[in-house]
Chains A and B, each alone.
Chain A
Amino acid sequence: MTGRLETISVTRSYGTRVIVENVTLSLAPGEITALLGGSGAGKSTLLRLLAGLEPVDAGEVRLGSRILSAPGRTLPPEQRRIGLIFQDFALFPHLTAARNVAFGLKHLPRDQAAATVDRWIGLLGLAGRAGAYPHELSGGEQQRVAIARALAPEPAAILMDEPFSGLDPALSGSVREAALAAVRAAGIPALMVTHDPAEALESADQIAILSGGRLLQSGTAENVYLRPASLAAARSLGAVNVFPRASLPASWQAAAPQPGGFVGFRPEGVRLDPASQTRFVVRSRRLMGPLVRLTLDGHGLQLNALAPPSSAPMQGAEVGVSLDPALTFTFASDET
């Protein structure tokens, strides 16, 4: 009924500075897309283009078959039916939780609106807090009110700008699960802007990687993680060791069969393999939480590896090493 929310070759500049360049992205109903990138990558601007808070300079924003934005023509946000959730929640400070949720229900008859508010308040576990003002709510409660407020008017799509980064880290895990379950249940296209690759990988059905205003790659989490289109795309989801193909030991070159001058592999793709004849020395060993990060030296290379604490060798030990082909990629260049 709502259809996909799409950008088609959208570009947005401030003066001569291009913020978003030729981005084509399609958000499917019922799926959460994570828009991943560092600061200044253009994530928030792309979200604002989708929301209608800013006009596009080129390209189109569409919802189903309807054109929302085109150069010189911007349907205002209040007519788009696209919900927004902000990092700081942006609750109306002078309204109670219930009246915040009711804000977007102006078009409904009073009793129907009240019933809708009750349903959302209950759904997000805020039943006892309906009469509280935002400053009387905890961070997690404010977050849930913001989600209820955005979803209550049954929007055609929902956009979330760093929705969990304002929360206590200890809290954000559980809040995120509950929140995203509610978003998924709405069955509409959902976009979540984030700078945290772990959050994107864990929560999203689709990941879109933005860098310098351009879309580097988009696809399912697994696809993007295991088949990065470029070194930059690979790096934005986690650490990568990268070397010229010719500098690798001969036995390893087979692990990267595709042509390409450079080979990259993730630290968790470096296997400690007693059977391997390719030997390295452990230079340093540092516990990183659940895993140990090893720096390995040998064959004129220095690389990072991850291993469980129980099986990680001690500093100074010599170990045989092989590569996991699934976590090894080839790139045409080592520029990011």
Chain B
Amino acid sequence: MELKAPALYAPALRQIPVLIAGLVIALPVAIVLVTGLAEGGGAAWAHIRDTLLARYLSGTLAVLALTAILCLLMAVPAAWLVTMFRFPGRGVFEWLLVLPLAGPGYVLAYAWSDLAGVAGPLQSGLRAATGWSAREYWFPDISSLPGLSFVLACSLYPYVYLTARAAFIAQSVCTMEAARSLGAGAGRTFWSVALPAARPAIAAGLALALMEAAADYGAAEFLGVPTLTFGIVRAWKSFGDPAAAARLAFVLLALILTFVIVERWSRGRAGTQQSSIRWRQIPRAVLSGPAALGATALCTSLFAAAFALPVGRLVWRSLESGARSTRIWDALGNSILLAGAGAALAFILALIIALSIRARGPLATFARIAASSGYAIPGAVLALGALAVIGSLPVTLSGITALAALAWVYAVRFTAAGTEPMAAALARAPVSIGQAAQSLGASPLRRTFAVDLPVAMSGAAAAALVLFVEALKELPATLMLRPFNWDTLSVRAYAYASDERLAAAALPALLITLAGLLPVILLSWQISRARPGGAE
């Protein structure tokens, strides 16, 4: 009998699926980069570079800076309050404050511009209360750069809230008690112990939020703020020059890469791992009087601004206008079909990558990195890549080809959201399970199907839901690649809003938000259970 050394690397043949998965994901980005470099120097680019680039770049930078500040101001105090104190409504706010994640930025932009417009309820109420006419007072304008930042922060602050809250819960209570015994009051304990320890988690959440903000097209376009993503879609649509758009994408990708590097670098050498080996439930201090009132008021106004007011407005508008249009229900069917196809493709890719991570080949690493870079790249840029690929093939962008291209772009964008939970589920399962299967005579292939796959599936249900909803919310790529006259909910909402028909845009926007609630509720439920003492 022949004895074989245990294979450290999977045999070459078994690496083919993960190689294909990696290439499928990496291709659109690679194509955009190549196109941008090789062909992007035409007249349109010269025009964009000389007249628009500075505006796009400064617009994007200003929006990101302001969004970052607003996200931090919204998320960190709220996370600290619900983690460390007891006040009326605390238990409810703990998960309510995650809900705004459900509404994409463009939906919030439509709702808020309707709310805060001259004819909207806020200004009408103000006029009714004061007797002023519309010219006699100043009111913040949502269609502005600060307005865009506000709307984006409202939909993206939960990323920071979630990571900050997890970091506050995870830190050693003993560390904070040690600080107090050394003479630090509540304020200094927060600023010099709790916050620095949570800083990397907060930075990671903020990096995610800013990537999403940089990828936003719908809100920026609707509110009329020139950003790079806005410019990319415009270069493709108005100038008809995908190569010039690819050059702009280059600038955007460089910006995103800078974020990632700065975030990594800012972690430095200082440790953030808690040395605590003992875990104790956080003894929440009870707030009373004005402090309790202030905490409740802060959480209430945050929830109202980011969710209750805009979503309430969408519900009101939908009821008012009714669901007369059959176009909405067609669009709903299309959305489900397309998001389902995209999620299915992403799911398969994610599964292949997650299963291959254990084999530790260089290809698995490549595919995993490709997937997480895909997640950071705006849909508009990926759509450019897909357009370039289709342009080089003997097919036209219509019908089934267009739908397949869209499913592909969704998969590239969102595979990482599926890989990570599945890889985590696999990592939690002891290695000995697989070894037990092999000792019982299972072949590697049977081991994959009979053991690894069911284990990965425990993280897969949540992943599939996230993938589906992310695909459903996607706007710019859908806008660029969809077959002619074939609408999804996001496209319908965008089209109505662009025509200033906000009442009609309300229903599709609301449906997107309601679908988005499903994974968010699942997520907050999982998080509240993840730590034995996180929930009460």
Contact = CB atoms under 8 A, between A and B. Distances in A.
B196 interface: yes
Contacts of A142: 275
A107 interface: yes
Contacts of A90: 172, 174-175, 177-178, 275-276
A136 B275 CA distance: 11
Contacts of B182: 78, 83, 103-104, 149-150, 153
B485 interface: no
Contacts of B278: 87-88
Nearest to A84: B181
Contact of A150 (B181, B193, B275, B277): B181
B42 interface: no
A86 interface: yes
B174 A103 contact: no
A106 B178 contact: no
A53 B280 CA distance: 14
Nearest to A137: B275
Contact of A133 (B174, B179, B269): B269
Contacts of A89: 275
B175 A92 contact: yes
Contacts of A136: 271
Nearest to A107: B183
B275 A88 contact: yes
Contact of B174 (A82, A88, A94): A88
A124 to B, nearest CB: 17
B62 interface: no
Given A93-B274, A94-B270, A86 B174 contact: yes
B238 interface: no
B272 interface: yes
B270 A95 contact: yes
B178 A84 contact: yes
B392 interface: no
Interface string B43-72: 000000000000000000000000000000
A86 B270 contact: no
A134 B193 CA distance: 14
Contacts of A106: 183-184, 188
Instruction: Please classify the interface of chain A as helix (H, G, I), strand (E, B), loop, or mixed, using the class held by over half of its residues.
Output: loop
Interface in A195-252: none
Given A86-B174, A92-B193, A93-B275, A78 B270 contact: no
Contacts of B199: 94
A39 B177 CA distance: 21
Nearest to B193: A92
A51 interface: yes
A131 B24 CA distance: 47
Interface string B264-286: 00000111111111100001000
A83 B181 contact: yes
Nearest to B270: A94
A76 B180 contact: yes
A134 B277 CA distance: 14
Given A88-B277, A133-B271, A166-B277, A78 B178 contact: no
Most buried by A among B174, B177, B183, B193: B183
A62 interface: no
Nearest to B277: A88
> Contact size class for B?
20 to 34
Contacts of B506: none
A106 B180 CA distance: 13
Contact of B179 (A76, A80, A103, A134): A103
B175 A94 contact: no
A72 to B, nearest CB: 14
A90 B275 CA distance: 6
A176 to B, nearest CB: 18
Contacts of A155: 181
Contacts of A149: 178, 182
Contacts of A146: 178
Interface string B148-185: 00000000000000000000000010110111111111
A134 B177 contact: no
A59 interface: no
Contacts of A312: none
Contacts of A92: 175, 178-179, 193, 196-197
Nearest to B198: A94
A107 B185 CA distance: 13
B180 A82 contact: no
Contacts of A80: 181
Nearest to B278: A88
A81 B183 contact: yes
Interface string A128-163: 000001111000001000100110010100000000
A77 B177 contact: yes
A19 interface: no
Contacts of B275: 88-91, 93, 134-135, 142
Contacts of B277: 87-88, 166
Contacts of B272: 93-94
Contacts of A87: 277-278
B177 to A, nearest CB: 6
The 4 closest A-B pairs by CB, nearest first: A104-B182, A90-B174, A135-B271, A84-B181
Given A93-B275, A104-B182, A153-B182, 17 more contacts: A76-B180, A77-B180, A78-B180, A78-B181, A83-B182, A86-B177, A92-B193, A92-B197, A93-B273, A94-B196, A94-B270, A95-B270, A106-B184, A133-B269, A134-B275, A135-B271, A166-B277
20 contacts: A77-B177, A78-B180, A81-B183, A84-B178, A88-B172, A88-B276, A91-B275, A93-B175, A94-B196, A103-B179, A104-B182, A107-B183, A133-B270, A134-B271, A135-B271, A136-B271, A149-B182, A150-B181, A153-B183, A166-B277
Interface of A: 51, 53-54, 76-84, 86-95, 103-104, 106-107, 133-136, 142, 146, 149-150, 153, 155, 166
